[in-house]
Structure 1
Amino acid sequence: MRFTSKNSKKNYRALACAMAMMTGLSAAQVVFAAPADSGVIVNMKDGKLAAVSESGAGADIDRNKKEAANGVEIGESVENVAKSQDTTNAAKEAVAKWNGERPTDAEVTSAAQALVGKTIMDIKIEGATEDVYNTALLSLNSKVGDALTIDGLSRDANNIYETGYFYDLYPSFEEIPEGVIVTYHVFTTPIISDIEITGNSKRESTEKLIKAMQLKPGDRLNRRSLQEDLANIKKVYVNDGYIMAKVHDMGIDDHGKVSIQVNEGILEGYKVKGLKKTKEKVVIRELRTKVGEPLNKKDVVRSYNRLTNLNYFESIDIKPIPGVEPNACMLEIDITEKNTGAFGVGAGYSTADGFIGMVSIGDRNFRGIGDSISVMYSISGSSTDARGWMFTYRKPWLDKKETAGIIKIYNRTYRYNDYDTNGDLIEEMLRKAKGFEIGFTRPVSEYSTNGIYFKNSDDTYDNHKSGPYDRRQPQWSEWNKENFGLTRSVTLSHTTDTRDNIMYPTGGHYVQLSAEFAGLGGDFNYQKYVIDDSAYWKVGRNQIVAFRNSYGHSNNELSYFNKFRIGGQGTLRGYKDDQFRGDSMYIGSLEFRFPLYNKVKGAIFTDWGAAWDDKWLPNDFNDFHASVGVGVMVETPVGPIRIDVGHGSQGNRVHFNVGASF
């Protein structure tokens, strides 16, 4: 509030207006609500404190018959009622006394007008308790000896009010021969007896919210501190992601009990738009927001990431819209679907092998229920080329606990190139794999999953295609017996994945621990342990740094085709596929990824790694190999297609992959 110093009717009207504003502001900021048993509500309204009797509020009746109270209990009950009644009566009397003594705004204006220019001989404050008296006195700008002015009265009244310890105040004047004595009459706030917060859920406990407040029971109520505390409560909610939460109501009863009512912004439901193929339940089950609970921004972001990682949708837009109840909302999810089906066909002819054909069909969102299915079949006019079939089916939700299951069945003969560590071809062969794999995963937390997988695969040498070594020959029979055969194994895994996007991460980590135990009546007995760790950081507007470490070890001497293998796309670019083998391995990669154009992204990378036998660490660090290179990734309807050119110690290699490198 502010007054001009000119002596005019406008100034006097400003004084009256300011006094009304001051008292009106106190009414707007603080509302007292007495407990139900007191029957009294104390309210600031229109510059007056009003004691209003609450009518029509019936007390709850306990219909369960209780045991008769003893004399001590009756005495305590009577004493408590008497104390409560005394407090209520005192509050009524204080309000009545203040309203009876407080002059009207017109009377204050008239008195001040008559004394403008008089010398202030003394300034007093009446009604302030001892703990806040000096605070009010020190807030004054006017000093003894100053001339009384409208501006001075306005500033002093405002300063006293802004200390926060008073609900209402008004000045009175005593004219003496030497000048005037100014007395500010104040209505002091009470001592806080208790703080009660209602409307909050278990996610934001009352203890946590009260801890964020500076006011505590036993403190003198300060309006400014209380407003800051309400802002602090709001800040707690915002920091924890509850962006719609707000303080719905606040009151102080005549016992000094502060009551704060919170409205956390409840989610009432979902409205999913744009679905044509996908069932609505497939979208709803991925959401981390819960109907009937407060809307949390972090849950909305997590829900968006989960929907994105399904790779079913071209675009996803999630936004809150008004609900039915006040400060409640619904989530509107607007989706544009992408083509999730894939069909491939290939054919060829050679004089050696005759007709060669391949057909594959699959769908990542089979029948719109979120399942994944793929079938591949290849045929050759000769028994000397690739042929066979493979069937894969994955169901991501077997139950309400998000147990996922996958099964893979295959009987296929395929070409395999075997290289030595110099990158020279040992043999191009046909290998036949026949068997099945089945696995289950279940989340143990929002970002962590446990898995178990069983493999039953019979690997046999089928035929020789080319190369200096022909393992069909009798001298290789013992080698074939030791390295081809039936593998039966169980693999246990624990995965923690906080990546925001599994296809093109811009942040988060991926860590997987796995242990494979082979035996179970198969031809090979071994244990293999692997830890894989990848991290992603956004370093610019759209630039990403990606880093990976992977280490594997076995205490056993592994068969040739069960050894760890590195080389090629996904492990050590710039070298041939599976060029290096061992009972232990390490791979490291560092990439800098950046956008090129629209859905085209580029990368600069370096890979390094080694494979060795016997020990946890290699005997000779010359076993390590490294490469550098560049890559391009293009987003397509079937997923990202990645092409890398790597330069290693043996020259350049081009690598092609569907999906991200890591």
Structure 2
Amino acid sequence: MRLSPRTTRALTLSAAVFCASAFVPAWAFTPFTVHNIEIQGLQHITPGTVYNYLPIHIGESVDDALAQKAVQDLYSTGFFRDVSIARSGDDLVVVVKERPIIASIETKGIKAFSKDEVESTLKGIGLEVRHIFNQATLDQVVQGLQQQYEGMGYYDAKITPHVETLPRNRVAIQIDVEQGQQATIKQVNIIGNHAFSENRLRGLFSIGAPDAFSFFSKNDRYSQEKFSKSLEKLNNFYLDHGYLNFAIESSQVQITPNRRFVYLTVNVHEGDVYHISKVDLTGDLILPRSKLEKLIEIHPGERFSKANILATNKAIADELGNYGYAFANTTPVPTVDPKTHEVALNFQVDPGHRVYIRRIDISNNNRSMDYVVRRQFRQMEGSLYNRSLIDRSKLRLEQTGFYQNVTTKTVPVPGHPDQLDLDVAVDERPTGSFSVGVGYSNAQGFLFNGSITQKNFMGTGNALSFSANVGGLGSAFNLSYTNPYFTPDGISLGFNVFRNDTNLSTLAVAPYQEVDLGGAVTLGIPVLEYVYDYMSLGFTHTNITLDTSNPIPLYQNYIDNYGNSTNSFTLGNQLEYNTTNSPIFPTKGLYTSLDLKAAVPPGNLRWYKAEVKANYYHPFTSWLSGGLGMRYGFINSFSGKPVPFFNNFYLGGPLTLPGYQTYAVGPQIDGYPVGGTRELLLDANLYFPLPGLEDNKNFRLNAFVASGWVYGVNAVNDGSTTNYAYSNSYFPSLGEMRTTAGIGLLWISPLGPLRLSVAIPLDKKPGDLTQPLQFTVGNAF
């Protein structure tokens, strides 16, 4: 085999390196001018990479100092485990031994962290496939994992790294983890408290001794992070109640010898209660003083409260932010009098300068078209910065259901102090789904459902859906399509077609079957920022089949007047006002709607219906909120014939009056609830998180009181049979109202919404159908 001149030269130089007589080490040669540079020992790293870090170039003079610097520079790259420099004539020979390349990384036994979290951490620290392996980095990973596990209470965790040498200077890394069991908190002791009981203070902690909810919340498992947050909440609690000099003097974590249990001890110093003696407002106020003073949430005579002070700072800054002052800042300056235990507060206002939004940049909208995000924005490019418009824009984006999280960040424009760019990052959630599921309701039995849904069809923001549900009540099929921006002004257009087969006799509500087939077209018009008007035109063909040979008069009268089959053409208009802060679990705001609908010619049904709904939500604390709800409606016929009984209102069940059977509240004829042409429902709720899961947005508990009744159909017994009559009264007798109280749980589970309620009817009457425990899993219809 004949070697090329280049190969021959390389072999010659290589031999020279290992022959003591052929070269002189870097620290022993005399200065010389480099005519050529040879690099030996490379396997994965390119020569160009070495040249970039080498501080010696052809034509330069090299001495001992420069040679030593070259060795240090190359070694400091971390690419090599050994570097040497030698001279062969006027050639500089650089001999390196590369560190191995990571061929694979595998982790086994890690359960406390997700795979994505582990991979992201390893990548961030430099342990990544096809990167250079450094034992020190692996040791750092092992030490960091050990600390993470101990911080989460896994004191028995054992982490064992394995490095397998592979051909071609590669290594395979495997990290084996034996997590062991997470330490359980045995007791939390608080020492030094006098103003508040130990039980009340323990209630501030997100971790503690096992309780009834520990199975779900895992709040009895020790976590250093949760313990630190609990201590912060304890500190803020005292500061919010006037204890200005409160301090946590020490906190101890004691582990039992078997490393299975943890005892937490917190020593506190409460100090004295301080009150506010004076509140002042100074600085460049910009806005009228009277307007800003209304935003102050702490007043003379009240206890010192850190929360109220921070709320005042934010309220003033946000208000100034609505007028373009994006950098407004309010600094509370306290003057403390330790003798009188009073604090004088001076809120110093610095508005900064007004700024404009130059550009809005959208990121992470990998599926959604850019305009789908932009059309929800109320803050316009080129206009003054407005904090409330930005917040409103974020809420509108979240209410689309397309995004799990929306973050905004202002970025100064270089050279233009009066301009900002607004960066908007959206975290998209899956909006398309194909599902086949099974649910259960103790009202309807097993529910089988399947659906194909795309709420953001092809990234356009349009919604397309087909669903099929089969359960104890029958079946329902629905196809719908909605374009929320049929016009650039936000007018929406949608349609749906459906077929519903309902057998209410399975609920012991009514002995009949109903088949509905039809569709509707809906036009939505944005009237004001929080006001929408929806107009609809629909058609429904209804077929009624009575189950018994001797039906109750109410149903037979319908058949006598209309026959078994009817057609109805409906015109509807719904006016909606919505300022709530969340489409799923609102804690603040007002939702009201007025829904008007009428069946008109050429259909053979004639009726008109009105229903008004209102729900008000108000936050009391960061975790506790309240809600008041009201629903009232009526339906009348204008054809001289009775209102079709299947258009009646019904109450009862977990969504209206928990504690009573579904649809079972109201008048009864021959033992069957028949609904009514009038309805009234009132409810009051307290909403709070599941203990230990305060930050989990998929759970919410509520304590409630609800009262309601449907009426307008009166049973008349003539001695031989039961007939009926209609009432013209628009309001029920208070003695007829049914009231219930209880507690409920709503969980957005992987199977769909789960509703569970335990309720006690407070004024049960003879014949009422009650059901204290009610739950629904999956999509009900």
> How high is the TM-score relative to the length of structure 1?
0.55
How far did residue 363 of structure 1 move? 1.9
- Return closer, same or farther for 1:589/1:469 CA change in 2, 3 Å cut-off: farther
Alpha-carbon displacement from aligned partner over 1:558-608 (angstroms, at most 9, x marks no partner): 220112222223322222222232121111111111111123221111211
| Equivalent position of 1:604 in the other structure | 703
Aligned length: 404
Q: Distance in 2 between matches of 1:344 and 1:480?
A: 43
Q: Distance in 2 between matches of 1:305 and 1:517?
A: 34
How far did residue 445 of structure 1 move? 0.9
Q: Distance in 2 between matches of 1:477 and 1:559?
A: 6
Q: Distance in 1 between matches of 2:774 and 2:707?
A: 17
How far did residue 241 of structure 1 move? 4.9
Secondary structure at 2:373's aligned position in 1? helix
How far did residue 321 of structure 1 move? 1.1
Alpha-carbon displacement from aligned partner over 1:500-546 (angstroms, at most 9, x marks no partner): 11211110000111221222211221221111111000011111111
Q: Distance in 1 between matches of 2:321 and 2:417?
A: 22
Counterpart of 1:631 (choices 718, 739, 744) is: 744
How far did residue 479 of structure 1 move? 5.2
Contact 2:324 2:384 in 1 (8 A): yes
| Equivalent position of 1:36 in the other structure | none
Contact 2:544 2:564 in 1 (8 A): no
Runs of 5+ unmatched residues, structure 1: 1-207, 214-233, 248-261, 349-355
Q: Distance in 2 between matches of 1:480 and 1:359?
A: 38
How far did residue 212 of structure 1 move? 7.6
Q: Distance in 2 between matches of 1:640 and 1:477?
A: 37
Alpha-carbon displacement from aligned partner over 1:284-324 (angstroms, at most 9, x marks no partner): 11111000101100011101111111121122211111125
- Return closer, same or farther for 1:619/1:403 CA change in 2, 3 Å cut-off: closer
How far did residue 438 of structure 1 move? 1.2
Could you say which structure has the larger radius of gyration? 1
| Equivalent position of 1:174 in the other structure | none
Q: Distance in 1 between matches of 2:400 and 2:710?
A: 35
Q: Distance in 1 between matches of 2:550 and 2:702?
A: 38
Secondary structure at 1:327's aligned position in 2? strand
How far did residue 209 of structure 1 move? 7.2
Counterpart of 2:461 (choices 350, 370, 376) is: 370
How far did residue 651 of structure 1 move? 3.7
Counterpart of 2:613 (choices 513, 532, 535) is: 532
- Return closer, same or farther for 1:394/1:644 CA change in 2, 3 Å cut-off: farther
Q: Residue 408 of structure 2 aligns to which amino acid in structure 1?
A: I
| Equivalent position of 1:342 in the other structure | 433
2:392 is equivalent to residue 302 of structure 1: yes
Taking the TM superposition and a 5 Å limit, the aligned residue runs for 1:103-502 are: 238=320, 240-244=322-326, 264-324=354-414, 325-345=416-436, 359-377=450-468, 386=474, 389-417=477-505, 424-427=508-511, 429-461=512-544, 464=547, 478=559, 481=562, 485-502=566-583
Contact 1:318 1:331 in 2 (8 A): yes
- Return closer, same or farther for 1:298/1:275 CA change in 2, 3 Å cut-off: same
Contact 1:640 1:659 in 2 (8 A): yes
Q: Distance in 2 between matches of 1:469 and 1:646?
A: 36
- Return closer, same or farther for 1:283/1:361 CA change in 2, 3 Å cut-off: same
Secondary structure at 1:610's aligned position in 2? strand
- Return closer, same or farther for 1:326/1:497 CA change in 2, 3 Å cut-off: same
2:772 is equivalent to residue 652 of structure 1: yes
How far did residue 265 of structure 1 move? 0.8
Q: Residue 683 of structure 2 aligns to which amino acid in structure 1?
A: S
Contact 1:413 1:462 in 2 (8 A): no
Q: Distance in 1 between matches of 2:457 and 2:482?
A: 10
Q: Distance in 2 between matches of 1:546 and 1:210?
A: 34
Q: Residue 535 of structure 1 aligns to which amino acid in structure 2?
A: Y
- Return closer, same or farther for 1:542/1:639 CA change in 2, 3 Å cut-off: farther
Contact 1:386 1:430 in 2 (8 A): no
> How high is the TM-score relative to the length of structure 2?
0.47
Q: Residue 566 of structure 1 aligns to which amino acid in structure 2?
A: L
Q: Distance in 2 between matches of 1:286 and 1:274?
A: 16
| Equivalent position of 1:49 in the other structure | none
Q: Distance in 1 between matches of 2:399 and 2:413?
A: 28
- Return closer, same or farther for 1:272/1:418 CA change in 2, 3 Å cut-off: same
Contact 2:435 2:450 in 1 (8 A): yes
Contact 2:633 2:679 in 1 (8 A): yes
Q: Distance in 2 between matches of 1:305 and 1:659?
A: 26
Q: Distance in 1 between matches of 2:320 and 2:382?
A: 19
Secondary structure at 2:456's aligned position in 1? strand
Contact 2:658 2:772 in 1 (8 A): no
Contact 2:437 2:751 in 1 (8 A): no
Q: Distance in 2 between matches of 1:410 and 1:242?
A: 50
- Return closer, same or farther for 1:314/1:469 CA change in 2, 3 Å cut-off: farther
Secondary structure at 2:486's aligned position in 1? coil
RMSD value over aligned CA atoms?
Answer: 3.8
How far did residue 412 of structure 1 move? 3.7
| Equivalent position of 1:593 in the other structure | 687
| Equivalent position of 2:625 in the other structure | 544
Contact 2:449 2:779 in 1 (8 A): no
Q: Residue 728 of structure 2 aligns to which amino acid in structure 1?
A: K
How far did residue 246 of structure 1 move? 8.1
- Return closer, same or farther for 1:321/1:495 CA change in 2, 3 Å cut-off: same
